[in-house]
Structure 1
Amino acid sequence: MKITKHPIRGALPALLVSLLLVACGDKPEAMISSAKDYLAKNDSKAAVIQIKNALQKSPDMPEARYLLGKTLLESGDVAGAETELRKALALKFAQDKTLPLLATAMLAQGQAKKLTDEFGKTNLADKTAQASLLTSLAGAYAAQGQTEPAQTALDAALATAPDYAPAKLIQARQKGGQRDFDGALAIADEVISKNPQSFEAWKLKGDLLRYAKNQPAEALAAYRKSVEIKPDFLAGQTAAVTLLLQQNNLPDAASQIEQLKKIAPNQPQTKFLEANLAYQQMDLKAARELTQQVLKAAPNNVQGLQLAGAIELQLNSPLQAEVYLSKALQAAPNLPLARRLLVMTYLRSGQATKALDTLKPGLVGDNIDPGLYAVAGEVYLQNNDVKKAEEYFTKATQQDPKNARNRTSLALTHMISGQVDNAFGELQNISASDSGITADMALISAHLRRQELDKALKAIDALEKKQADKPLAANLRGRVLLIKRDLPGARKSFERALQIDPMFFPAVASLAGLDLADKKPQDAKARFDAVLAKDPKNAQALLAQAELAARTGASKDEVGKLINNAVSANPTEAAPRLLLIDFHLRNKDVKLATSAAQDAVATLPNNPELLDALGRTQLAAGEFNQSIASFNKLAGMQPLSPQPYLRLADVHMANKDKAAAAASLRKALDIKPDLQAAQRGSILLDMDGKNISGALTTAKTMQKQGPKDAVGYVLEGDINASQKNWDAAANAYQTGLKQASSAELAVKLHSVLLAAGKTSEAEKFSATWQRDQPKDTVFLLYLGDGAISRKDYSGAEKLYTRVTQLQPNNAVAFNNLAWVTARLNKDGAIALAEKANALAPNQPALMDTLAELLSDKGDYAKALEVQTKVVTLQPENPIFKLNLAKIHIKGGKKDLAKVQLDELAKLGDKFGGQKEVAQLIKGL
């Protein structure tokens, strides 16, 4: 057989390289000689293979152990280096060569005390070796806070070898720490002049030029010189990338990262820089995945935690952001960005008190983060301290006088404090002088809040002059005209927005809404079709089609098919897939939900939301082991998130494994000690296990964690109420009301006073609460429901009427008012029920009321139409089927009524209304 030889091109496969290296010679000495040749060519991988081959044949070769340790140290494997260097020492290899490297490896691992204890008094014959050891000892003493021994060791190193570069560089850093930047720079330059290949000196020079001299271009040149000398110098590569990212020079940063990936592709620092780049490119999905890899390798990396928090905040996941940022700030209390982001997280999630507590430490000391001033203004504003808010917004404006956002915030603070005319004047001045639209938007919003619609339109005119080529102003004008009930004018404005940008979806959606109001669903559909004709993969339009179909009575199969279209058009987008999974779960189509979730996770295996959805579908299907596996995988993917453990607790509870559920809740609370969902779960488990004292302890803990939050007092009261300990319950609710003006606490206090038979005290409290909180509609609705239970329909009518006056868009109040109006035999009940349904369309409970009232009035056809739709929307609700049967009976359709009643009878004990069902069947 003829064998044709071909030249070998490119990189050889690893196995082939290994075989070739072994073939270089069978003797260990020859292999070591070959390894040295590879090291001279900077091919450390090939060198390591040869050294390990030599050690397989002769494990006790001192020089082989030394060379392996040295190579591992240079490649960043400091733990492996220490092991090999200690073996070299044990085999009597030269101390002068081995000990300096061993000291470097120990210091890199943070073994400062071990290093000074073991080698603090060691003297080496070679001056350079002794200088190296002393330099490492200086670093070790400094790490332990022992300033004098550290300085003594450094001085000794320089006395031993005056030009020893690493010691000189420490001396330079000391001068930098003393703010003698010129002196530090002079030493760095001196080292470079004597040793131009000192990559560490170039890196230090870059740091000094960047931070002390504010010369970013020169600093970048120095960093690049350091990696030109030593391409695998990770610190130099990192510094160059970080500087490029700070300059927002993303193309060059990406190029530099590609270089870094060639030499250290799996290093956490490389992944971190990749994540930073993705974050600045607003590729939040990639940024999240890369940051998770960083935190998996280094769970306590504060920069990684800070970046993870920033990403989650951008992704609108405040709970997860809070976990990451809290941990970062605990590890590094002086991390300004982490503090600012955590404060913003608390603001976004409505935790104003926590925001203030987190903010305050950042506002003391000499080096206050200037970016914190504007955030402080928002925090104090949310805590109703307008004076302090004004103070910090003023400071923010003084720091950056041209910043329109800060000036606008200050103007809005003036408005809140009552300086309305001045505030509007300030906003108008900012709007006129600034090319941005921050002030314009604030001015428009302020006018809208005050219902000054004509002034809002005037402000929109000013906005339009700045952005004549953008659809925003026309869309805003349409929204204001809608409020003014000028539907033709609104339609014209939305159409104007689409003339500017035919794909501007908010205007498309608004026009579709107007079409629906005009009972023209086909016109609405045509608008979405027009978007899809130009952009067939437009997820918003595809999902809007599905929503439109659902609102116009399409079958669930048709709606599901439309959502599937969105998934097919955007297979790598998580949002349509999540919508499809949740759609199937709502419709109790567990098999379809599971199939959709499995397909989603197969396509996007690193998406935590989809993995969470898969676990939820498996739970719904009763596949507990699979669900536990999914949520455990999610916990591994998000090690600092409490959410997977909450999900696991749900699975264990469904599986009746209460001990495992309690353990999962404890894990969630270990991550986030004030996680209310986990605390509530723990209380429920304690109550189930008759551990009342444990439940009360958790409630008390919640009160300490959030003294101004009602929830801890609500739970303490509820625990006592469940034991019929009415006085203790009332005391908890009353204590809570002193801390927080909460409608929930008021309702519960009133209810336990009634339960305790303290009617006069309850009535007195009710009168006082209504006087002090005249706009509390929650309490009024509660009183109305109580009046109905007592058949005090006149009293209920008055209460619900007050709610509709306070909240003209409260559909529940209109629904309940319709019901009592009918019981009082007054006119207008149907009109009130229709109003409720107009305010909240397609709500089965509201439609059920309307159908009942129509049936009572003898309008069988319309009542049947409404109630049939109710049963279609909630086919599993037996009450709605019972009411449909009653409508059939009143309409004289006993055969149709019997169909419904027979279905209900088959439910047996699953439906508690069997007595009424039997009576109705008997009467047919």
Structure 2
Amino acid sequence: MFRLTPFASAAALMLLSACSGPRDEQASLAAAEAFLAKRDTASAAIEIKNALQLRPDSARARFLMARTLFEQEDPAGAEIELTKAIDQAYDPDQVALLRAKLWNAQGRYSATVQEFGVNPLNDAQGSAAMEVLLATAQVGLRQWDAAGEHVRRALSRVPGHEPARVLAVRIDAAQGRLDASLAQAQQLTAQLPGNAEAWKLLGDLLRAQDGKTAEAAAAYEKALNLDATNADALSALIEVNFDRGDLAGVERQVAQLMKVAPNRPTTMLYESRLAGAHKDYERAHQILEGLLKVSPNDVRFLQAAGAVAFAAGRRSEAVGYLTKALRTTPENVAVRQILAQVLIEDDHAAQALKVLEPLNSTGPADGKTLALAARANQALGDTGRAAQQLSQAAQRPDASPALRIEAEVVAALAKGGGAMDVDKLSRIASQDPTVLPDVKLIEALLQRKQYPQALQAVAALEKKSPKSAVPPTLKGRVQWLSGQRDAARQSFAEALGRDANHFPALANLAAMDVEDRKLGDARRRLDGLLLADPGHVEALLTLADLDRMAGQPAAQIRERIAAAVKANPGSIEARLALVDHDVRQGDANAALEAAQAANSALPNSIPILERIGRLHLMRGQNEPARSAFGAVLSLDAKNLPARLGMADALLGIGNTAGATEAVERAIADAPRSAEALRAGANLALRAKQYGKVVQYARRVQELRPQEPAGFLMEGQAELLRGGYPAAARAFSAVLTLADNPDAAAGLHRALLGAKRNADAQAFAESWAAKHPEDVGFQLKAAEGAIANRDFAGAERVYRQLIEKQPRHAVALNNLAIMLLEQHKPGAVAFAQRAVELSPQQTDFADTLAQTYAGDKDFAKAIDLQRKVVERAPQVPDYRLNLAKLQLASRDEAGARKELQELKKLGPAYPRQAEVTKLLQGL
């Protein structure tokens, strides 16, 4: 529960006054100053209030109250009292010094520099003190040269000025000159053995050195011996114990801090942090919530609240706190760094780079900023840039051993362009006590399918981390991939024995259950986890996947995902799962509504904005799509999906030149992207520039000769221009690289196109025998038969597929179409089954309407087709089908109305010739 600073009640004040006898205003203020000199702010506050009762307009009392509140860490109250002192014309020099201290403490460094950049004080001591405050502000702004100049001015006004000498060393240290700074600090403590701040400085510099934690703690203890009320030194000692993981030591020192500075915000911040360290996030949040009620814009509280929310997994809440803190003090380095870290963890690496950008523009970035930028670039796939930044960070004297190891690991990643350097990782892992290089080494060995070596690496990791659930989980993964299923299950069970809620192990066991067709076992595992943690987002989403595999109704699956969203409103994974589910069901309206709700909860999320853009494209809403993709590109100018989405939106409004420019920009930004080159090929196809398509394809083949993408593009282009022998050769080239279902379907279609029907049939039978579960090939084979108007052959494929999977909605729908094409009975029943399985799929409803018409039930057909048009007005083909049904039922007026609507679309609708012909026939 939040405890307000305990001021005495009015009755208590009267009692104190009565006990101590009458005292005039000046005596009370003199007593207050004496208490402040001893840092007894509570007693000082009582004396000042006594003075204000005697004389409310006392300028000196207001100033001393401002100073007291400042030392009690109440900046808002201090600002109010200082303003009153100014109104009463209190000493402007003392006011200026306190205001500069106040602004610096709030992180308002720019305000200090702008107001007092031309030092207004004439007194030597006061002038030197102001120069130190200006230097401190410039340090906060990372303007090292300006900071140094202010220190020199302070020393010129008062030679040997101790605060200036201490700050000069801090400025050197901040610029990375740690060894020289440490030597200077040691010299300072020898020359100024009674200066507590010099000893604290020495402690800070020792703490930045490897293996110097004990010496740092001793320096802080020395500072406290000199000044037992030095809360900063005690706070630093608390930080040392946090570094050591000595929470018992932290508790002792927080208790001591409560004696030195009871009920101060700093003390309460440490209480909150200690609760967080014990994972009591609710208690930590309560403490901070109380502080924020009193000072809602205090950057310290916002920063701490953001850190607690992040640790508790409430990422969107963390972003909210930290963004507000950053708006209050844009120059605050620590807030930018924490916010960037949260954004990286939340898969918003591009936004993280934008947050860090100002730190690079004000001078050389510090090591932490470089490391965060590197992690963001790595998340965006720019491993080379990440390696360069981490290398720079690791070369700084204050770089931690973990950071240096991370730099080596990423350098090993970058060396192979994404394929990890196994030899280098092995060397790092053998020399480093941390687990990061071991985990990366195991991943690299798994990529290479070097399972025995991976098991050896897991054994080494086990020695480093014998109590962690990670080694047996990785061991189980290796065993599973190498075919040792029983051993894998044992390893995953061992991991859960170490940590019953270790989700990777549990998820792997559930996945093995699914492979063994034991969906009930998989579900029971996840239900058990949800008993302990009902809101576990991964478990809820995995259960939704299991429901989908089991063929459960779409509405039930959606309820499961919606529950995950409700329990985890800040989870981007849950929100995207809901959007993607609605897309799979063909319900673009529900998907867009879910995406927009996600955007409201998690603004400026690139994956969410991308989906909003795609959904608008699905609905034929090109301008809103442009806006969504434009928002993505403002966050990440090289975002490939957004750039290609922008091209699609521009095509939708008939701006082919703009679309071409967007695709060319995408190819320039990502020359190795098959998606970008495919987009270029698609534009060439629209212009029937088949040779250009093949050029794109050959370019992909040169870049990635061992990957199928380029050969697939060439085969597809040749198919479209009727070059069936060339298409067959391209698809065959793909199949020499890998069993690729798309290539198999393309080869089948090319053989049919080349009139090699016997070869096509033989290939289809061979592929189906080797890949009986390849539903995609069967669907593609049916499409190939349809392209050759072999409707009976397509019907045969769909019937075979439905025999294996009677709930396959696409096969049911397409079989209904094939029966219609051949004027065979039974189409309605198959179409109805497809709609029952996927009621939101508008094209299935469109098919059902056509089957009703095939049975001459035009009333039912038209009624259903009108509903289809209402649900998807952006799909002009549905409106055209409605017009045709109305013509068939002799409703010429209704048909004319729908055809005239289509006529308004102009050349953007490619079937205008058919529309015109139908209108002319009326």
TM range (shorter): 0.5 to 0.7
Does residue 103 (structure 1) correspond to residue 132 (structure 2)? The answer is yes
Spell out, residue by residue over 1:551-589, the C-alpha distance to the aligned partner (whole angstroms, 9 max, x if none): 5779x7x998x6799599969798999888888898899
Check whether the contact 1:821–1:828 (CA below 8 A) recurs between aligned residues: yes
| CA spacing shift, 1:261–1:95, aligned 2, 3 Å | farther
Instruction: Look up the match of 1:513.
Output: none
Instruction: Look up the match of 1:736.
Output: 700
Alignment of 1:85-484 (within 5 A): 86=116, 94=123, 96-97=125-126, 99-101=128-130, 103-109=132-138, 110=141, 113-114=145-146, 120-121=152-153, 130-132=161-163, 165-166=196-197, 192-202=224-234, 229-230=260-261, 266-284=297-315, 286-297=317-328, 304=335, 307-308=338-339, 311=342, 331-332=365-366, 338=372, 342=376, 345=379, 351=381, 354-355=382-383, 358-359=386-387, 362=390, 367=401, 369=403, 372=406, 379=413, 385=419, 388-389=421-422, 391-393=424-426, 395-396=428-429, 398-400=431-433, 438=470, 441-442=473-474, 444-446=476-478, 448-449=480-481, 452=483, 455-457=484-486, 459-460=488-489, 483=515
Instruction: Find 2:829's aligned residue among 860, 865, 868.
Output: 865
Instruction: Find 1:668's aligned residue among 626, 632, 647.
Output: 632
| CA spacing shift, 1:358–1:836, aligned 2, 3 Å | farther
Instruction: Look up the match of 2:19.
Output: none
CA-based RMSD of the aligned residues comes to 6.6
Residue 422 of structure 2 aligns with an amino acid whose one-letter code is A
SS of aligned partner of 2:637: coil
Instruction: Find 2:61's aligned residue among 24, 33, 42.
Output: 33
1:736 deviates by 1.8
Q: Which runs of 5+ in 1 are unaligned?
A: 1-6, 12-16, 507-530, 598-609, 616-630
Check whether the contact 1:192–1:201 (CA below 8 A) recurs between aligned residues: yes
Does residue 677 (structure 1) correspond to residue 628 (structure 2)? The answer is no
Check whether the contact 1:646–1:678 (CA below 8 A) recurs between aligned residues: no
Instruction: Look up the match of 1:52.
Output: 83
Residue 60 of structure 2 aligns with an amino acid whose one-letter code is I
| CA spacing shift, 1:391–1:729, aligned 2, 3 Å | same
1:392 deviates by 1.2
Alpha-carbon separation, structure 2, partners of 1:542 and 1:418: 27
State, as a whole percentage, how many aligned pairs show the same letter: 12
Does residue 494 (structure 1) correspond to residue 488 (structure 2)? The answer is no
1:399 deviates by 3.0
| CA spacing shift, 1:359–1:802, aligned 2, 3 Å | farther
Alpha-carbon separation, structure 1, partners of 2:731 and 2:543: 47
1:867 deviates by 1.4
Instruction: Look up the match of 1:781.
Output: 745
Structure-1-length-normalised TM-score: 0.65
1:34 deviates by 4.8
1:104 deviates by 0.8
Alpha-carbon separation, structure 2, partners of 1:332 and 1:122: 27
1:93 deviates by 7.1
Structure-2-length-normalised TM-score: 0.65
1:280 deviates by 3.5
Alpha-carbon separation, structure 2, partners of 1:52 and 1:321: 38
Instruction: Look up the match of 2:678.
Output: 714
| CA spacing shift, 1:720–1:299, aligned 2, 3 Å | farther
Residue 735 of structure 1 aligns with an amino acid whose one-letter code is R
1:675 deviates by 0.6
Check whether the contact 1:814–1:836 (CA below 8 A) recurs between aligned residues: yes
Instruction: Look up the match of 1:613.
Output: 596
Instruction: Look up the match of 1:76.
Output: 106
Check whether the contact 1:268–1:298 (CA below 8 A) recurs between aligned residues: yes
Spell out, residue by residue over 1:748-791, the C-alpha distance to the aligned partner (whole angstroms, 9 max, x if none): 33344566787765565455x24643522212323445666788
Alpha-carbon separation, structure 2, partners of 1:727 and 1:827: 34
Spell out, residue by residue over 1:10-38, the C-alpha distance to the aligned partner (whole angstroms, 9 max, x if none): 99xxxxx9xx999857785x243354267
1:141 deviates by 7.9
Alpha-carbon separation, structure 2, partners of 1:673 and 1:259: 41
| CA spacing shift, 1:118–1:655, aligned 2, 3 Å | farther
Check whether the contact 2:132–2:164 (CA below 8 A) recurs between aligned residues: yes
1:100 deviates by 0.9
Alignment of 1:490-889 (within 5 A): 490=518, 494=521, 503-504=527-528, 612-614=595-597, 638=603, 644=609, 668-684=632-648, 699=663, 701-703=665-667, 705-740=669-704, 741=706, 743-753=708-718, 764-767=729-732, 769-770=733-734, 772-773=736-737, 775-785=739-749, 797-798=761-762, 800-801=764-765, 803-805=767-769, 807-817=771-781, 832-837=797-802, 842-851=807-816, 860=825, 863-871=827-835, 873=838, 877=842, 881=846, 885-886=850-851, 889=854
Spell out, residue by residue over 1:338-371, the C-alpha distance to the aligned partner (whole angstroms, 9 max, x if none): 478558746xxxx5xx346534764796756376
| CA spacing shift, 1:250–1:835, aligned 2, 3 Å | same
Check whether the contact 2:701–2:707 (CA below 8 A) recurs between aligned residues: yes
Alpha-carbon separation, structure 2, partners of 1:792 and 1:831: 19
SS of aligned partner of 1:369: helix
Spell out, residue by residue over 1:683-707, the C-alpha distance to the aligned partner (whole angstroms, 9 max, x if none): 4566679987876665455445444
| CA spacing shift, 1:753–1:8, aligned 2, 3 Å | same
Alpha-carbon separation, structure 2, partners of 1:151 and 1:179: 13
Check whether the contact 1:312–1:320 (CA below 8 A) recurs between aligned residues: yes
Alpha-carbon separation, structure 2, partners of 1:126 and 1:48: 29
Check whether the contact 2:340–2:352 (CA below 8 A) recurs between aligned residues: yes
SS of aligned partner of 2:403: coil
Check whether the contact 2:387–2:414 (CA below 8 A) recurs between aligned residues: no
Alpha-carbon separation, structure 1, partners of 2:378 and 2:94: 56
Check whether the contact 1:321–1:345 (CA below 8 A) recurs between aligned residues: no
1:847 deviates by 0.8
| CA spacing shift, 1:117–1:342, aligned 2, 3 Å | closer
| CA spacing shift, 1:697–1:192, aligned 2, 3 Å | same
Whose RCO is larger (CA < 8 A, sep 6+)?
2
1:76 deviates by 3.3
Check whether the contact 1:837–1:847 (CA below 8 A) recurs between aligned residues: yes
Check whether the contact 1:457–1:480 (CA below 8 A) recurs between aligned residues: no
Residue 861 of structure 2 aligns with an amino acid whose one-letter code is Q
Q: Which runs of 5+ in 2 are unaligned?
A: 1-8, 14-45, 396-400, 870-875, 891-922
Check whether the contact 2:288–2:305 (CA below 8 A) recurs between aligned residues: yes
Alpha-carbon separation, structure 2, partners of 1:165 and 1:885: 88
Instruction: Look up the match of 1:622.
Output: none
Alpha-carbon separation, structure 2, partners of 1:60 and 1:718: 76
1:676 deviates by 0.9
Residue 369 of structure 1 aligns with an amino acid whose one-letter code is L
Mean Cα displacement is larger for which, 415-424 or 675-684? 415-424
Alpha-carbon separation, structure 1, partners of 2:450 and 2:575: 49
| CA spacing shift, 1:23–1:10, aligned 2, 3 Å | closer
Check whether the contact 1:546–1:563 (CA below 8 A) recurs between aligned residues: no
Residue 301 of structure 2 aligns with an amino acid whose one-letter code is T
| CA spacing shift, 1:413–1:116, aligned 2, 3 Å | closer
Instruction: Look up the match of 1:606.
Output: none
